[in-house]
Chain A
């Protein structure tokens, strides 16, 4: 690569700063390694830069992490994939450092490079690297090794394959739990590259050992591997090898293991097929739904919809639904909350009849739950049930729930329900909204908490978008404008905010006739905060209204404000005037 055109000086600085005392400068140089490499050319990069980096790996973790990442994409700068082996030594060293994130990045980069390398090169340089790491003195090297086996394995010669398998199984019995955890994590990846015959013998043996590990943390990861392995095996093998393990795990002494099973179980259903699902997995899942430990029930409850989707309606009604009923009155609020966040999705699975008869009472009881999160979860997914049974059946219970949430003493709860109001409005229709919810929306504008008032203003805008300007003109605008006379300046400010949000939705005509006069009126308020918010509101309204209105109404008002005794008012007024001027000159 030619460097005749490239200014050398900046490159020289970059190179020198690879060894600067300032970490930030070193990091910067490492991030620009491609630039340095391009300037040096491919050959010098291979012969000088890469060895230089290999030797100088006694740096802080941040720099090493950046180096590990850069080297992963370095093939173009060393002269293509046939030279890839020169990148292996520095990455191999990085695979052995103490810092987990550096090692993980180095492994990732090695995989990236390895997956492009030629078969002969893999056998010649990658396989020995994996073996060296696997035999490393410190656990750090061995942990890294586990994540590399799947790269050279598929193309390795037969004897080498056998060796790799046996090395891996040794890693699974390593003394250090970290190594066994890494082996368990990467088992699925390695297994995916393996011939079916070895999968059934070697990998299953390894897997079984891991499932009996005395460290819970290893067994947990083995559970995660179940689904991945299950998908690789033929259904009958999966039933033979994986199913008993997972059924065992679902009754493990450790709640953390059962928790993992509860999270993973539905993924296995497809791998084993419908019959074993019905006979084995459904009972296991039902047990987990009734587990003693609340954490396990939380995990299981969160998967009822996913699990039901895999089963047919009949099985779901027969086995899952009774548990769902129990969970809806669980002693732990978190369990009920987890259930409430997914239960609405069961309606389409169960169909109209079952939903009306069985699910609806559960919805209703959850809507009356003492814990606001549970009620909110139900309300947030209202659209799903609406598609199946229509909202009428729910609306009578909905209203009290909404009103109660709207007045909850925790402002975060009030905030959450405000955010669902447009959804509710669209599901419930204009009629219901006008009767019941309109007043609430106005009430929030005067909430004690700013975030609520702000959200209430935004809510009005979204409602106007939902139901259209004509409706808003009747049901929102008059009420809002009335409140401008509120004695509290903070509430007047909320109204200003609402007006400037509503203006774009209402359109030019209504803005000019209804909103603008009110804003101009307020510009004479005695509180400076109001006045500079008027300036801001006026500025936001200029794009909506006609140019003549800007000149005849807005500008005079702003000019008056720009002479206000208060500095802030003058500032925002001038800013607005300037914005108008800019717009006029540009157009």
Chain B
């Protein structure tokens, strides 16, 4: 592994876990379909968002009490099969469906992106966004408190908070004037409420045994996007983040939700001149001034926030020029980039367009350093894919923490993992089921029968309704989480 020149061996992927697995014949509820997946920085937590506006958090169990766990394993004389294992932690409703009355537009609650922010004091912070509104969440364990030994017994029930301090005393006042006239030092008395009135004060006793998780929305960043937000990304300064829609990118301070700065504006004076939209944007992992965004024309632009306040001019442009002969009606559509990701060190950018994954070196603008065909067998079928709009599906991509491999999704709940270190020929096809390798033998499928979807058990066909759009690679280990409609599958190698 240390020797970069040596190509690592292909990984053997195994099923690890599944959450929300469908029973046979069970119909998928639209709101349950997962629309975003994100690991936190050290991989101890995983968040998913769904079309119903919910965010579900998972926590890693195998590492939390690592010491104990290992000892147990040793006692059991078990070979170390340590791989990330997660359990359901909590969930909360992040977004609700809304209606924009000014524009007569329905705003879906669907979570488009989730990003983790810096953890503090065991409180987790994350940003979630739908098409229009970004929210900053704090998820924290709160002690469940039991308060007893009040001064006034029994404690006055607080019914809807209508009990006020101003009117409460009057009812007892007479009691007090009768009973409270002695000047005994109050410290001597332990009993507080005598029959005749209140004679001493003490503080209530608070005990707590359990804790519960509480999610609170700390900030709401709204009304800054005319178009649909496709990305949010944190800056390495832990202070700012960007949000990108089809035509603009805005810069926010996490603490300030009342204003943002527009840093990229691609809106032409006349909307008829519009040729290109922003599809994805991400900050460089360590350089606070650099960010990359991709476009529907297949280009990636790197911009430097130091250069000017409005970064309409890029500092670097990455695009691949197609050979003139190969241009077809679909070339423009399939070259649209659906997702970009920086590698951990920030040297490389991974991009996904409809047919391929491309790895770019940010020091080399002339072309990608590697290109991986994701589902080349679909190329003859582009016409059908266009007709049923599948050609506009937005697949995400991800890189392993060591930068040696990349992964992305396809149809029929398949996803592919490629080795991207020099000389690697690793190219694995996995299926998001409990037996991920069951179709591997048959790949690549040679012919397609019915483009609209098929139930061919041999896997020689593809099912356009079961697309695997969202997946994430654990930041430090070979573990992938991917969403097959409403189910979250996890694999390790």
Question: Which residues from chain A sit less than 8 Å from chain B, CB to CB?
Answer: 3-4, 7-22, 24-25, 28, 39-40, 44, 48-49, 52, 55-56, 58, 96-98, 100, 138-140, 176-178, 181, 214-217, 252-256, 292-295
Contact = CB atoms under 8 A, between A and B. Distances in A.
Nearest to A217: B237
Contact of A178 (B156, B169, B200, B238): B238
Nearest to A218: B237
Nearest to A180: B237
A7 B169 contact: yes
A301 B118 CA distance: 38
Given A8-B198, A14-B165, A138-B121, A52 B203 contact: yes
Contacts of A28: 165
Contact of B203 (A48, A138, A255, A292): A48
B307 interface: yes
Contact of A256 (B152, B187, B202, B306): B306
B435 interface: no
B201 A8 contact: yes
A7 B180 CA distance: 8
B266 interface: no
B206 A215 contact: no
Given A7-B173, A178-B239, A100 B203 contact: no
B169 A10 contact: yes
A210 to B, nearest CB: 14
Contacts of B156: 16
B255 A20 contact: no
20 contacts: A3-B186, A7-B176, A8-B176, A8-B199, A9-B197, A11-B201, A12-B201, A19-B145, A48-B202, A176-B238, A177-B239, A178-B238, A178-B239, A215-B288, A216-B305, A217-B239, A254-B289, A255-B307, A256-B305, A293-B309
A153 B186 CA distance: 42
Nearest to B147: A19
Contacts of A255: 306-309
Contacts of A9: 168-169, 172-173, 176, 197-198
A177 B156 CA distance: 48
B143 interface: yes
Contact of A13 (B168, B180, B208): B168
Contact of A16 (B151, B199, B307): B151
Interface residues of B, number: 55
Contacts of A39: 201
B203 A49 contact: yes
A255 B307 CA distance: 6
A139 B288 CA distance: 19
Contacts of B176: 7-9
Nearest 4 CB-CB pairings of A with B: A12-B151, A254-B306, A22-B161, A19-B147
Given A13-B152, A13-B169, A19-B147, A140 B203 contact: no
B158 A19 contact: no
B158 A140 contact: no
A256 B176 CA distance: 65
Nearest to A140: B120
B301 interface: no
B120 A292 contact: no
A17 B204 CA distance: 9
A55 B206 contact: yes
Given A19-B206, A22-B161, A52-B203, A44 B187 contact: yes
Contacts of A22: 158, 161
A44 B188 CA distance: 12
A337 to B, nearest CB: 16
A20 B198 contact: no
Given A13-B165, A18-B204, A214 B288 contact: yes
Nearest to A295: B309
Contacts of A178: 118, 238-239
A11 to B, nearest CB: 6
B150 interface: yes
Given A7-B173, A58-B143, A140 B121 contact: yes
Interface string B146-174: 01001110011010010101001100110
Given A9-B176, A15-B203, A16-B151, A25 B161 contact: yes
A139 B120 contact: yes
A98 B123 contact: yes
B60 interface: no
A102 to B, nearest CB: 11
Contacts of A138: 120-121
A252 B289 CA distance: 13
Contact of A216 (B180, B198, B206, B237): B237
B138 interface: yes
B371 interface: no
B236 interface: yes
B165 A21 contact: no
Interface in B199-231: 199-204, 206, 208
A177 B239 CA distance: 9
B142 interface: yes
B255 A253 contact: no
